Structure formats: structure tokens, C-alpha cells
Amino acid sequence: MANDNKGPKKAKGPQRKGQAHADEQLDNRTISVEEAPGKLHKQPVEEKTSAEQAHEEKIAREGHPHHPGELKKKKPKANMPPAPPKEGELIPRKKPDADDQLIRMAFEDRDWNEIKSSNSWAIFKVMSEFVEGFEKLAKIGPCVSIFGSARTKETHKYYKMAEQIAEKLVRHGYGVITGGGPGIMEAGNKGAYNAGGKSVGLNIVLPFEQFDNPYIDPDKLITFDHFFVRKVMFVKYAQGFIVMPGGFGTMDELFEALTLIQTKKIGRFPIVLVGTKYWSGLMDWIRTTMLEQESNVNEEDLHLVNIVDTAEEAVKVIDEFYSKYLLSPNF
């Protein structure tokens, strides 16, 4: 009896399988297993008849007769696009990105209290940025803003040229204002810093590319959340603009300065575009399309900019324009 409680001994080798029970009876439909201590019953496995299989295949193909909406959707074939959505059907998205969230927020319905509270805080934030900018830059002296791409590498010729321009500007009595980030902005601040002049960085919070460079004077680094406040500082405290090759942000800054000068909101400060090859296509389009074809600008508006190819030429334009004011060094 003691040996029965211990159960059958395990066999070694390939014959171990199937010897955990004393008896196995097989037929065409059922497998019955004799109960052994410590073991679970195996459930009977029944084979489906041809009629049952045909019935299940019909349900999968046509749907259940009592639940017609449960028809299984066919998966699209490999390398084939999914079927187009039906009329009125929404296309699900995996996860909303930042752009999608900003768009959805613009269409959200909000009551007056929410609107008033949100707008009030936004006004205070804008005011605080203006106050900080005015306080730090009010006594900065004559400066030139240098615009250009954040993506320009340190080994690029335009990076080196921007650095040379900044150094020469400082030696001629000007401070340098940049966007405070990498690329051309870093080159401008680096040139001013190495020459011992004032190096101003107007940084902005962005999801990519933008971070303040190490060549900005600590007391002249300002970080903004709003582009329009930052552009006010670029223009208000600069007496000239050097525009290096850049992207959309550079174009925005260039045309902001052009518009303010054209509409006489600010004085006619010199605007210097560096790189004939880079800027000639844009200026040709302005002349042929905006001026000659559409008459959207005047002939004199095209004389608001100067195109040069060297650091010496860029600084010479600034110097000649301000020679009558006898500017003194601001450092």
C-alpha cells in the first residue's frame, strides 16, 4: 500500500512519455486517462464533424444569423493598403502628437472664466518678458544684430565668416546681439566674446535645435517663450542687421526688419545680406515678381539691403552708414 501512494516510478530515456498513468485507452473520439494521485484529469477532446466545421466556416464568412454585426473583418493582404474608411467613419490615430494637441486646444470650447483666467496669465507672462528685456538692454549701447541658421556647423565657411564679422564689429565700437543659440548665433557671440565686446543672447524655448551657447555674457542672456517679444528686442536695441544664410527663422527676422524700415516704424538702419550666391535668387524673385509683375513693392524698397561676400565688406557698410554719428566703443 505504501508503494501505491508514491505513484509509478519514472522511466528513463525516450520511453518516459506516456508512462505517468497505468492505462491509456484510445478510440476514434475520446481519450480517457486513469486517475493518478497528484495528477489532473485531461479533458476529453472531441473531433468536429464535417457538418460542424462547415457551419463554423459559414459563420466566419457570412456572420452569425442571430448576430449579423459580428462578422469578422478580413485582414488586408500583405503589402496592400487597408480598405478606405466608409463615409462618416473616423480614422483612429495611435497617439496624438504635439501639433495635433495644439490644434485640438484651439478648437476647445471654454467658458468665460477659463478664457479670462488663461488670457490674464498670458498677459502677465508677456509683460514679464518685455520688462526683463527692457531692463537688461536699456543701457547696452550701439549694437548690431546678427541673424543666421542654428544648423550651421563650426567648420562651415559661413560660421567662420560670422565669427570674423562679430570680431570686427566689436573693434569698430559695436556690441553684438544674436538669437543666443548654436550655429551662426554661436559664431556671432564667439567673435564678440573673443574680441572683448558685449555679447548678447536672446534665446528662446523650442522643442529642437535651440540652446544657449557658452559665449554670451551672463548678464546679457535672456530666454523668451514668445517669438514676437524676442523680435522686438532684436530690432529695438540694434542699429544694424547682418543677415547670414539661414532658414525660416532667419527669413522671419529679415522681413521683420525690412517691414519696419519700409513703413518707417524704425529708422533706416543698414541691412547687410552675406553671401551673394545664397541671396541672389531671393532678390531676383523680389525684383521680377513682387516689383515688376505684381507691383507689390517700390523700386526704392530694393535699396534697403546690401549684398556682400566678405567680413570686411559687411562691416564697411555698417561703418559708412554711421560714420557721421561718431560712435564710441561700448566696452
Domain boundaries, the chain: 142-324
147: β partners? 243
The torsion angle over the Cα atoms of residues 291, 292, 294 and 297, rounded to 10 degrees, is 20
Render pLDDT for 55-89 as a digit per residue (tens, 0 to 9).
677 777 766 555 555 444 544 444 555 566 566 55
Helix/strand/coil percent split, the chain, to 5: 45, 10, 45
pLDDT of residue 211: 79
State yes or no: pLDDT of 293 exceeds 80: yes
Q: How far apart are CA 240 and CA 174, in angstroms?
A: 10
Render pLDDT for 92-114 as a digit per residue (tens, 0 to 9).
555 556 667 667 666 667 666 66
In the DSSP assignment, the letter for residue 29 is S
Q: How far apart are CA 196 and CA 189, in angstroms?
A: 11
CA contacts within 13 A on the Cβ side of 74: 8
Question: Lowest-pLDDT range, 10-19, 154-163, 203-212, 242-251?
Answer: 10-19
In the DSSP assignment, the letter for residue 142 is S
Handedness of CA 59, 65, 71, 77 (dihedral sign): positive
C-alpha cell at 270: 543698414
Dihedrals phi, psi of 28, to nearest 5 degrees: -70, -20
Strand 31-33 versus strand 24-26 pairing type: antiparallel
Place 121 in a pLDDT band, splitting at 50, 70 and 90: confident
Tell me if residue 24 falls in helix, strand or coil.
strand
pTM check: above 0.75? no
- Please name which of 296, 291, 175, 297 lies closest in space to residue 237, comparing C-alpha atoms: 175
Render pLDDT for 138-190 as a digit per residue (tens, 0 to 9).
889 899 999 999 999 999 999 999 999 999 999 999 999 999 999 999 999 99
Do 322 and 239 form a contact (C-beta atoms < 8 A)? yes
Q: Which residue bears the cell 537688461?
A: 136
Do 314 and 242 form a contact (C-beta atoms < 8 A)? yes
Do 220 and 136 form a contact (C-beta atoms < 8 A)? yes
Determine the topology of domain 142-324 in CATH. Answer: Rossmann fold (3.40.50)
